[in-house]
Structure 1
Amino acid sequence: MIFTETKLKGAYIIEIERIEEERGFFARTFCRKEFESHGLNPNLVQCNISYNKKKGTLRGMHYQIAPHEEAKLISCIRGSIYDVIIDMRSDSLTYGQWMAFKLTAHGLPRTAYFKMLYVPESFAHGFQTLEDDTLVFYQMSEFYHPESARGIRWDDPMFAVQWPIHDKIISDKDKSYDNWVAKDKTR
C-alpha cells in the first residue's frame, strides 16, 4: 500500500499496490503492520456501508467525542464521492481546516480509483455523492456509541466547505446540527 499524508496531519490517502496478471489483479487493502508503521490506529472493530440512491446526497459532518473517538478508513466501492474531512483538534496547527478528496470505484485514469481515505480521531467527516447508486464502505476503529455521536452543519460558515453539487439531499438530522461556533469547543 502507498501512504500519502495530507496537509492535515494524521490524515492519509492510501492507494493499493496492484499485482496484475492476465486474470486481473490482487491487492492488499489493509495491513496492521503498515498502519502501525505510519502511526495510524490499526484497530478496526466495525465496518459499515452507506448506500445512496441519488447524486447530490450529502452525509455529514459526523464524529464521536471521547472516550469513543474513532478513526475511519473510507473507500467508495460503487460510484464516486466528494469526501470531506475537518480537523477538529483544538491543539492542532491545522485546527478548523478542511480538505476534500474524490474517491471513486471506477474509471480512468487508473490512479483515480482504489484510493482510501484514513480519517484520524477528532476529525469531522462527511461526503457528497457524485453519481446515483453510490456505495461507501467504512472501517471504524471504535464501535458506534449514540451518546458520543456528534455533528456539525455541512454549511457552517467557520469552515466554508465548498460542496460540488448545489442541489443537496440532506437528512433532517444532518440539517439540525448546530454551527461549530455555537458549540462548546471542548465537546
Structure 2
Amino acid sequence: MATLTATELHNVQSKPKLGFATFGRTALFALAPLAAFGGVNLAAESLGLMPLFFSPLGLPGWVGAGFHLALIFSIGISMGLVAHKGRRGAIALRWSAALVAAMIAFPFFAAPLDSMTLALVMTGVLLLALATAIRMTRISGMAGWFMLPVIGWIGFGAALGLAVAAAWAPPFALINAQQPAIGAN
C-alpha cells in the first residue's frame, strides 16, 4: 500500500487551485478590455461621439462591431495567458495594453480621416498588433494562437485601405478622375 508524505499531499491538493486561479485570471483579463471599451463607449456617447466599425463587403455596421469586440476579447485572453509569466509577461502586458487602447480608440476617430490617413493609421495598428503577438508568442504559444484572428482582421483592413488609397493616389488619380476631354467644350 502506497502512502503519501505531507509534502506530496500538499502538492496534489494545490494543483487544482492553480488551474482555477489561472482560469480566473484569464477570465478577468479577457473581460477587462471589454469593460474598458464599454466605459469609453459610454463616455463618448455622452459627448455625442459614435464609433465607426470596419464592415467590408456590404455587411452592416453591427457585424463589424461584433468582430471588433471579439478581437478585443481575444486580446484579453492572450493577456491572461501571459500575465503570470514574470518580467517578460509584464512587458507583453504593456504592449497588449497599448494594442487594446488603440483598438478601443480607433473606431472613434476613424470617421473624419481621409482614405490615405485611415490606411496609414490602420497599418500602424497592424504593426503594433504584430509586435504584441510576437512578444506574446515567445511566452505562450496559446496566446499567439489567440492573437492570430486579431492580426488577420486588422491586416485585411489595412490591406484593403491601402489598396483603396493607392487607387486614388497619383499616378492613378489622373486616370480615375472624371475630367472632360480636351476640346470637348
TM-score by length of 2: 0.28
- Higher RCO (Cα < 8 Å, 6 or more apart): 1
Decide which structure has the larger Cα Rg and report it.
Answer: 2
Larger proportion of helix: 2
Larger proportion of strand: 1
